[in-house]
Amino acid sequence: MRRLERKILSGVIIAVLVYGGVAVWADARAVIKSVTAVPYLVFMAAIAMTLVNYALRYAKWTVLLRRLDVILPHSLSLIAFVAGMSMSITPGKVGEVLKSLLIRDACGVPVARTAPVVFVERLTDLIALVIIAAAGIGSFEYGRLPLIVVTVALALVVAVLQKPALVHRVIGLTQRHPRLAGFRPKIDELYDSTATMLNWRILIGTTVLSVFSWGMEAGAFYLLIQALGGNADLLLSSFIYSMSTILGAVSFLPGGLGVTEGSMIGVLKLFHVFDSVATATAVTYLIRFATLWFGVAAGFVALAIFRTKYPGNSSLDQ
Give me the chain's average pLDDT, please. 85
pLDDT computed for residue 50 by the predictor: 96
pLDDT computed for residue 151 by the predictor: 87
The answer to the question of residue 17 being in a domain is no
pLDDT computed for residue 189 by the predictor: 78
Q: What pairs with residue 91 in β-bridges?
A: 254
The total domain count for the chain is 1
The answer to the question of residue 241 being in a domain is yes
The answer to the question of residue 173 being in a domain is no
> How many angstroms separate the CA atoms of 1 and 8, rounded?
11
**Neighbour-count burial for 76-115, b at 16+ CB within 10 Å, e otherwise:** bbbbbbbbbbbbbbbebbebbbbbbbbbbbbeebebbbbb
Whether the pTM exceeds 0.95: the reply is no
pLDDT computed for residue 1 by the predictor: 45
Identify which of 73, 80, 71 has the alpha carbon closest to the alpha carbon of residue 103: 80
pLDDT in tens, the chain (318 residues): 466 666 666 667 777 777 777 766 767 888 889 999 999 999 999 999 999 999 999 999 999 999 999 999 989 999 999 999 988 877 767 778 889 999 998 888 888 889 899 999 999 999 999 999 888 776 676 777 888 888 899 989 888 888 887 877 777 766 666 666 566 677 777 888 888 888 888 999 999 999 999 999 999 999 999 999 999 999 999 999 999 999 888 887 777 788 888 899 999 998 999 989 999 999 999 999 999 999 999 998 998 899 888 876 555 555
The answer to the question of residue 35 being in a domain is no
The answer to the question of residue 126 being in a domain is yes
The answer to the question of residue 121 being in a domain is yes
Structural domain range at position 301: 74-162+198-317
Residue pair 221/243 in contact by the 8 Å Cβ criterion? no
The answer to the question of residue 269 being in a domain is yes
The answer to the question of residue 42 being in a domain is no
DSSP string covering 21-63: HHHHHH-HHHHHHHHHHS-HHHHHHHHHHHHHHHHHHHHHHHH
